[in-house]
Structure 1
Amino acid sequence: MHQTSPLDAPVVREPRHTPVAHLVRGGVVEGVHHGSVVVLDADGGVRFRLGDTEAAFYPRSALKPVQAVAMLRAGLPLDGDLLSLAAASHSGEERHLEGTRRILARAGLTEADLRNTPDMPYDPVVRDAWVRDGREPSRLAQNCSGKHAAMLWTASLNGWTLDDYLDPAHPLQQTVAETVEDLTGQRVAHVTVDGCGAPLFAVSLHGLARALARITSAPAGTPEARVADAMRDHAEMASGVRRDVAALMRAVPGLLAKDGFEGVQVAALPDGRAVAVKIADGADRARVPVAAAALAHAGVDAALLDAFAGAPLLGGGRPVGAIRTVRALEAAPLVPSA
């Protein structure tokens, strides 16, 4: 497996975020969302940046496409909808639970072998139905179960132990860390535990954008291209029928997009143009509008992005405001920065 020589790890510091979006009510700025944004050209150059794109941060689930590439490199024989599920933060719909069962069955395993944190489905409609039916939190319903099932199968195929597959020192997680460094082009700055129990690797926002660009622009048939194809072809399996990230992939031809908790969004096009967004306060309402503005600066037809400008702010049941990206994002140049 060819790997580049990673750069030094990003610096662990308080990120120097800057305003990226305003909540405007009745013409008055009621709230301000800080964050950081980076836009990459097809050649990997930085077209636009705002805030702190080089500090270490946690991509959360936005790193799942990279984890999926690592598993394919280690021999995981998945493609199509089940590979999309292996890279998913799924909504807990029946298709997701059934798909996770299929991965486990192919590995000769069951839900009892999963080590992710039990949870209710992520989608509020599905979750409400679970509550009405008296169903309890489960490892299968938790949004990372597809990834965990794929991790277990990868470990089994390689003869690695299963009970400790989430240990950062486990061969599986060492393989993931190596792939993170390869695709981001930088050393991992810190390792902790994600909400699902899997290791979480700190990189920079710039590194995250670079990783997804390398995945979408890789030659056909490579692990990277297989992940990109699976997620784009089965966007609802990678997220859910009511999820904005699936709608974004459907709206923009060829786009691969992945969200992450705490206001993270990354997206890339087949030619390697990419954007990455971090909303400092973790607020979800600013994530997609800021990402849509960044994609417009990457050259995506603005008409394809109109639906992602953000839901209107209501007052008395009628629109009185909205999320507005800051002027710096609106005025970003469409040519490479000096």
Structure 2
Amino acid sequence: MDTQGAAVVTYRDAEIENVHHAHIAVVDARGKLLYSFGDPTRMTLARSAAKPAQALAVLEAGAFEQFAFDDADLALMCASHSSEDRHIERTRSMLDKVQAQESDLRCGGHAPLSDAVYRSWVKRDFTPTAACSNCSGKHVGMLGGARALGAAIDGYHLPDHPIQQHVKRVVAQLCGLPDDRVQWGIDGCNLPTPAFPLDRLAFVYAQLAHAPDAADAAQTQRPAALARMYRAMTRYPELVAGEGRYCTLLMRAFEGQVVGKLGADACYGVGVRASAHTERLGTQGAVGISVKVADGNVGVVYMIVSEILERLRLGTPGQRSQLAAFHRPKMLNTRGVEFGHAEFPFELTKH
């Protein structure tokens, strides 16, 4: 089997079982490409990895001042959460703050991302509602953003609504692109979702990680808003994903030095704050990493992100070792017998 250009190859005993292709971009806080694999400019649907950029638009619309949203609420706006009780309860608390009803949400209920929550729901014969959506925090944020702009909340999810027009402008600005260089589709949760070159996603996360160290000296409000978002996500990683989930584990392991967010169909964004570790890469500031697995395998994107952190020696060995279960997951059959392994044949090109 041809493995040329593969990022990850999985084996069953000595036989190749799957070949996964991927694209990788690593940039500095100015957007300069440092390392790449595959096509770092591939047009990519960021999906939920774009949530911090969308939440920035809600912040800048004035919704936090008007409705007294706090940093935990902000973390949930950036989340693809596990529908744990704390996630659903916070969603409903946020609805109260904007004086909206669950029926105003234009996301739908679905099976949870957490196996533990799913088992609990089955035992209780529970039917999920809109507040249980893994994107519920983002949707409530959009309701608040719409009201802060003086717009009606009806149709807040539609591309021509004032809040979505505002989101589109902010996302393009954060990517450093003209508005027409960002394309938009409909996400699984029923909100618009952006597509832009993969290295621009890395740039978004580099800016996010740079902001906590730059906000005090900044002359504009945006770095302060990004710094607040970084602190919210890293302070409340359990709200960004949930127990046992990669995003939560990553941010806990790196103790505030790394922010990370999954996008559906195996897109991922990582921001790493400036440190001696990032200086070794030839930059004085923060670093952003973006990954897209071509076949949409989420388990593989976790493996690749973990491998990149290992190869670039970002963080300490002890921090990186906490990702081992996702980096090189054991391949076990139903009897617990290990039957295979994964290899990482990709090489990062230095620019």
Shift of the alpha carbon at 1:67? 0.6
Task: Flag the 1:45–1:265 CA change in 2: closer, same or farther, 3 A.
Answer: same
1:233-268 CA distance string (max 9 Å, x none): 000101111211110111123100000110111101
Moved more, 36-45 or 161-170: 36-45
Counterpart in the other structure of 1:57: 44
Counterpart in the other structure of 1:11: none
Counterpart in the other structure of 1:75: 62
Counterpart in the other structure of 2:304: 290
Q: Is the 8 A contact 1:313 1:320 kept in 2?
A: yes
Residue segments in structure 2 that go unaligned for 5+ positions in a row: 216-222, 275-285
2:111 and 2:31 map into 1 onto residues whose CA distance is 39
- Choose which of 114, 119, 127 in structure 1 pairs with 2:118: 127
| Length, aligned pairs only | 316
Residue segments in structure 1 that go unaligned for 5+ positions in a row: 1-16
1:161 and 1:18 map into 2 onto residues whose CA distance is 49
Q: Is the 8 A contact 1:96 1:237 kept in 2?
A: yes
Q: Which structure has greater helix proportion?
A: 2
Counterpart in the other structure of 1:138: 129
1:120-165 CA distance string (max 9 Å, x none): 3221211221122111131011100111011101111221111110
Task: Flag the 1:138–1:229 CA change in 2: closer, same or farther, 3 A.
Answer: same
Q: Is the 8 A contact 1:65 1:227 kept in 2?
A: yes
2:202 and 2:146 map into 1 onto residues whose CA distance is 28
Q: Counterpart of 1:237 in structure 2: which amino acid?
A: L
Shift of the alpha carbon at 1:302? 6.1
Please say if 1:232 is aligned against 2:247.
Answer: no
1:46-78 CA distance string (max 9 Å, x none): 221111121211011000011111110111213
Counterpart in the other structure of 1:194: 187
Q: Counterpart of 2:344 in structure 1: which amino acid?
A: T
Report the secondary structure of 1:57's partner residue. strand
Aligned runs of 1:246-261 on 2, under 5 Å?
246-253=248-255, 254-261=257-264
Shift of the alpha carbon at 1:43? 4.9
Please say if 1:311 is aligned against 2:329.
Answer: yes
Report the secondary structure of 1:217's partner residue. helix
TM-score, with length taken from structure 2: 0.85
- Choose which of 18, 22, 34 in structure 2 pairs with 1:47: 34
What percent identity do the matched residue pairs reach? 32
Counterpart in the other structure of 1:5: none
Aligned runs of 1:103-114 on 2, under 5 Å?
103-114=94-105
Counterpart in the other structure of 2:93: 102
- Choose which of 162, 187, 202 in structure 2 pairs with 1:209: 202
TM-score, with length taken from structure 1: 0.88
Q: Is the 8 A contact 1:285 1:310 kept in 2?
A: no
2:312 and 2:46 map into 1 onto residues whose CA distance is 21
